[in-house]
């Protein structure tokens, strides 16, 4: 997977916008590149970075000669024509499916972390409200108006985008399944691009974690610290390099759970997980794994770092006479308590 990028590493060259609104019978195609001011450029860069760095992005490869693969090398010279035909192809699939949301198709060329890319993002419309002002007979009237063509905000998460390295032809795809012909499918990779894909790092980690939890449960039972202990061994692998390699996961599991290790390896070896090289893991995903949630029946939710589960000076679980479980948190720093009731 690619290294994480920052806004400073993105330089937009050309950009064009086409409307893909299913309320119309055909797409509304622009004939000119879009002129960007500082704010709109920052808006697009923010979405590029968020999509490129997404936990769900997949590394893919062209498996056949198609429209995108055949034209990507010359995309700068035939930019407008290419983008218009791409928009038509998107719109055709959207019309056939009926379940894919309307949106603006943003097609651009950019330098990202020193490499030249074709980047395509579909900004799906959101429904929101705007105000409407009318002057009637020397009086003012202000009403709410429902607007169904609002673009996602700068910090919103996109569902659909792809990036093609113009020189290496490496492809990154961020997509969502939609129902097409009665079957849910990833239409961007299968129809628009014609690529084979690998699983996202997030998906691969989830698969490994679920197998580890299953094998642990079979050998040691479903203990209260099962999930934190499994998460802990994965966190140790991610702690130093923000990457994971299956062989290291195997070693950590064997060290902690020797009885279950053979079964874990046997099942995990059959998973469609990258084994040849370490996979970079986004910091957001590392952070998510490193904390486990505990919920009480009374609605209290606590996030606990997995590294403290084996520290009796920090916390402990106690089984009560009635069978309920009590969590005891120790050594609370009262000086750092968040006194939200104080004004």
341 occurs within a structural domain: no
57 occurs within a structural domain: yes
249 occurs within a structural domain: yes
Residue 231 in 3-state DSSP?
helix
Stretch (H or E) spanning 184: strand 183-185
Note whether 217 and 86 are same-domain residues.
no
Phi, psi of 319, deg, nearest 5: -85, 120
Q: Rounded to whole angstroms, how far apart are CA atoms 46 and 198? A: 25
Distance linking the first and last C-alpha atoms of the chain: 47
Length of the chain: 343
pLDDT in tens, the chain (343 residues): 567 899 999 999 999 999 999 999 999 999 999 999 999 999 999 999 999 999 889 988 888 788 999 999 999 999 999 999 999 999 999 998 888 999 999 999 999 999 999 999 999 998 888 888 888 878 888 888 887 778 888 889 999 999 999 999 999 999 999 988 777 888 999 899 988 876 777 788 888 888 888 888 888 887 766 777 777 777 776 766 667 778 888 888 888 888 988 998 888 887 777 766 677 777 777 777 777 777 778 888 888 777 776 677 887 777 778 877 787 888 777 655 555 444 4
Note whether 23 and 121 are same-domain residues.
yes
Tell me, rounded to whole angstroms, the distance of Cα 132 from its chain centroid: 36
329 occurs within a structural domain: no
Note whether 175 and 250 are same-domain residues.
no
Q: CA distances (Å), 9 to each of 1, 45, 116, 154, 197, in order?
A: 17, 9, 12, 17, 26
Stretch (H or E) spanning 95: helix 79-97
Q: Rounded to whole angstroms, how far apart are CA atoms 212 and 202? A: 15
28 occurs within a structural domain: yes
| Number of other residues whose CB lies within 10 A of the CB of residue 146 | 8
CA-based R_g, the chain, Å? 25
- Nearest residue to 278 (alpha-carbon basis) of 238, 251, 250: 238
CB burial of residue 35 (10 Å; 0-12, 13-18, 19+): exposed
Global pTM reads 0.68
Q: Rounded to whole angstroms, how far apart are CA atoms 22 and 101? A: 8
Over the range 163-173, which residues count as b (16 or more CB within 10 Å of their CB) and which as e? bbbbeeebbbb
Place of tokens 């957001």: 284
User: What range defines the domain where residue 80 resides?
Assistant: 7-126+155-198
Tokens matching residue 284? 């957001």
Q: How many domains does the chain have?
A: 2
Q: Rounded to whole angstroms, how far apart are CA atoms 320 and 292? A: 22
Tokens matching residue 65? 């000669």
Note whether 191 and 291 are same-domain residues.
no
Q: Rounded to whole angstroms, how far apart are CA atoms 122 and 157? A: 11
136 occurs within a structural domain: no
Note whether 263 and 180 are same-domain residues.
no
Note whether 242 and 159 are same-domain residues.
no
């Amino acid at each position: 997977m690619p290294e994480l990028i920052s806004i400073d590493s993105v330089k937009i060259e050309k950009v064009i916008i086409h409307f893909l609104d299913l309320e119309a019978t055909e797409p509304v195609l622009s004939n000119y590149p879009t002129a960007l001011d500082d704010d709109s450029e920052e808006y697009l860069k923010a979405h590029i970075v968020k999509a490129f760095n997404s936990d769900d992005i997949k590394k893919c490869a062209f498996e056949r000669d198609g429209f995108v693969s055949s034209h990507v090398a010359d995309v700068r010279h035939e930019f407008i024509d290419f983008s218009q035909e791409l928009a038509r192809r998107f719109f055709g699939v959207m019309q056939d499916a009926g379940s894919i949301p309307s949106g603006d198709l943003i097609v651009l060329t950019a330098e990202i972390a020193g490499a030249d890319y074709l980047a395509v993002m579909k900004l799906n419309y959101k429904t929101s409200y705007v105000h409407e002002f009318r002057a009637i007979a020397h009086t003012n009237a202000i009403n709410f108006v429902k607007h169904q063509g609002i673009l996602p905000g700068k910090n919103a998460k996109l569902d659909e985008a792809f990036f093609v390295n113009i020189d290496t032809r490496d492809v990154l795809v961020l997509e969502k399944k939609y129902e097409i012909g009665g079957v849910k499918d990833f239409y961007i990779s299968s129809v628009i691009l014609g690529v084979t894909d690998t699983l996202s790092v997030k998906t691969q980690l989830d698969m490994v974690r679920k197998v580890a939890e299953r094998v642990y449960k079979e050998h040691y039972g479903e203990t209260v610290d099962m999930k934190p202990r499994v998460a802990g061994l994965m966190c140790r692998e991610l702690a130093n390099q923000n990457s994971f390699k299956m062989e290291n996961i195997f070693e950590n599991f064997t060290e902690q759970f020797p009885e279950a290790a053979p079964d874990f390896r046997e099942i995990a070896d059959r998973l469609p997980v990258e084994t040849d090289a370490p996979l970079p893991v986004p910091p957001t995903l590392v952070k998510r794994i490193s904390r486990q949630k505990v919920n009480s029946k009374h609605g209290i939710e606590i996030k606990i770092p997995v590294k403290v589960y084996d520290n009796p000076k920090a916390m402990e679980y106690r089984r009560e006479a009635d069978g309920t479980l009590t969590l005891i948190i120790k050594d609370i720093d009262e000086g750092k308590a968040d006194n939200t009731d104080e004004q």
